[in-house]
Structure 1
Amino acid sequence: MELRDIIYEKKGGIAKVIINRPEVYNAFRARTVQEMIWAFRDAWDDNTIGVVILTGAGDKAFCAGGDQKTKGDSGYDGSGGLSGGIGLQIEELHKTIRAIPKPVIAAVNGYAIGGGHVLHVICDLTIASEKAIFGQSGPKVGSYDAGFGTAYLARVVGEKKAREIWYLCEQYTAYEAKEMGLVNKVVPHDELMAAAEEWANKILDKSPTAIKMLKYSFNADSAHIDGITQLSMASLAMFYQTEESAEGRNAFLEKRPVNFRQFRK
């Protein structure tokens, strides 16, 4: 397929999926998600590939989540083709990252916010630049991910911390993220890709069947979250049609304070 929103590379047993929209902090639109799904499935089918590294182009952002400029009153624009529900096949992307029988390493080079934060959470491993920033934004912009973004996050950092991350929408440094177990390793910014490739090569030296079965085993304990995700995305599709959700998007685009208190009457 023609790739416009991502860069996809394969070399030495490692596939790299690079979100290539640095002008919007690598926020994804429908096409971006479609291209990522295609790349992960290609890496899945290629027996020479043993590890996938997911990262963002530039030095400012890993991914800032959904591009609010492409979000309308009923969801995202769906211009990427694989649309449905909220206009993004984000649920399918999450399933693909989890199901691919090869470890996925998130190399977080900057902001991992909102839907971008969820992407790194569901990867098998996360290596962060010391400049990386983590956090949620959904409730600030009239959105949420009540599937892997919440239930699986709680498995990673604990219930209390996961609720803090979502309820307060604050931002955390790479070192704070490591302390809470959200990332595996923090490295100097200019050493990030080298560190991700080093871990990838260590994995490539291991039995591919053993790695595959271990990933299946790790996933089994949280497999029921798939059902929760389906409910979450279905409810989100309806929520995006409300004035409350529109207020979050409009405030973001208009660069003004959001007023969600009006919906508490």
Structure 2
Amino acid sequence: MEYQDILYEVRGPAVWITINRPEKYNAFRGQTCEELIHAFNRAGYDKSVAVVVLTGAGDKAFCTGGDQSAHDGGYDGRGIIGLPVEDLQSVIRDIPKPVIARVQGFAIGGGNVLVTVCDLAIASTKAVLGQVGPKVGSVDPGFGTALLSRVVGEKKAREIWMLCRRYPAAEALQMGLVNAVVEPDQLDAEVEKWCMEIAALSPTAISIAKKSFNLDSESIRGISAMGMQALSLFYDTEESKEGVQAFLEKRTPKFR
């Protein structure tokens, strides 16, 4: 596959996968998701690769979720909602290599979900995380909600979704959403340090450990499948369409 929306770079024992849509704050469209799925499979089953790093181009955003300009009652790709996000989230969990989210700038909406799904996350002090779904008539009814509650606790997860606040990196660290926070000019070096530490360990033991962690929350995959069916119906409603339209027009939505 020839990549248009992402970059694929080998750095020693690690592969860095970069969402390369800085003009869109690294929001993903259908094409972006397909390329990410391909890249994760490519890196994940390459025996020379010890760890995969997911990040976003530029310093403004890690990822801000689905590209609302490609959303009109459904996105522009395949799948139940027009984005194969279930496949993307699953491949990050399924490949037998640790996936580190390198977070610079905004990790909002679906970008926050990607941070949640990755095995580890390292953020710069300029990172900002949080949810936006209910502001735009959307929600992640799977890993983005159920797995998030396991990561940060049930009450905090409900706060994140029901208030749509933004959380600076230091607060994300405190709640357990990221593993470490460093200054922006130290971010790459810190990520590379973690990659080298992982590369020195038994790849089979790491793979088994990852699978073992995932098995405890594997039922969420079924929750996601059912939830996405409901979400596809929700996207056809006037309420959801109002959220998208208000976002594009940069105004406050009128849901009621």
TM range (shorter): over 0.9
Q: Deviations over 1:29-83 (max 9, x none)?
A: 000000000000001221100100000000010000100000012x0012xxxx1
Alignment of 1:235-246 (within 5 A): 235-246=230-241
1:15-34 aligned at under 5 Å gives the runs 15-34=15-34
Instruction: Select the residue among 111, 117, 122 that pairs with 2:106.
Output: 111
Query: Could you tell me how far 1:191 is from its partner in structure 2?
Result: 1.1
Counterpart CA distance in 2 for 1:133 and 1:52 is 22
How many angstroms apart in 1 are the aligned matches of 2:180 and 2:79? 36
Q: Measure, in 2, the Cα distance between the counterparts of 1:61 and 1:190.
A: 15
1:86-143 deviation digits (Å, cap 9, x = unpaired) = 1110000000000110000000011000000000111000000000000000000000
Amino acid paired to 1:37: I
1:77-116 matches, cutoff 5 A: 77-78=76-77, 83-116=78-111
The CA distance in 2 between the partners of 1:158 and 1:12, in whole Å, is 36
Partner of 1:173: 168
Structure-2 separation of matches of 1:13 and 1:125: 17
* 1:77 aligned partner, one-letter code: D
Equivalent residue number for residue 149 of structure 2: 154
Q: Quick one: distance in 2 between partners of 1:248 and 1:132?
A: 25
Question: How far did residue 179 of structure 1 move?
Answer: 0.7
Offset at residue 169 of structure 1 (A): 0.1
TM-score in terms of structure 1 length = 0.96
**1:197 pairs with 192, 198, 203, which one?**
192
Partner of 1:69: 69
- 2:7 is the alignment partner of 1:12: no
* 1:222 aligns with one of 217, 220, 227: 217
For 2:133, which of 116, 138, 142 is the aligned residue? Answer: 138
- Whether the 8 Å contact between 2:45 and 2:96 is mirrored in structure 1 is no
Query: Secondary structure of 2:167's match?
Result: strand
SS in 2 for 1:2: coil
How much does 1:216 deviate? 0.6
Superposed CA RMSD: 0.6
Tell me how far apart the structure 2 counterparts of residues 105 and 67 of structure 1 sit (CA, whole Å): 23
* TM-score of the pair, normalised by structure 2: 0.99
Quick one: distance in 2 between partners of 1:182 and 1:86?
26
| 2:129 is the alignment partner of 1:121 | no
- The CA distance in 2 between the partners of 1:225 and 1:253, in whole Å, is 31
Cα deviation for residue 84 of structure 1 reads 1.8
| Paired letter, 2:145 | T
The DSSP-based 3-state class of the residue aligned with 2:251 is: coil
Deviation track 1:199-225 (CA, whole Å, cap 9, x = no partner) reads 011000000000000001111110110
Secondary structure of the residue aligned to 1:9 is: strand
Q: Give yes or no for contact 2:44–2:52 (8 Å, CA) kept in 1.
A: no
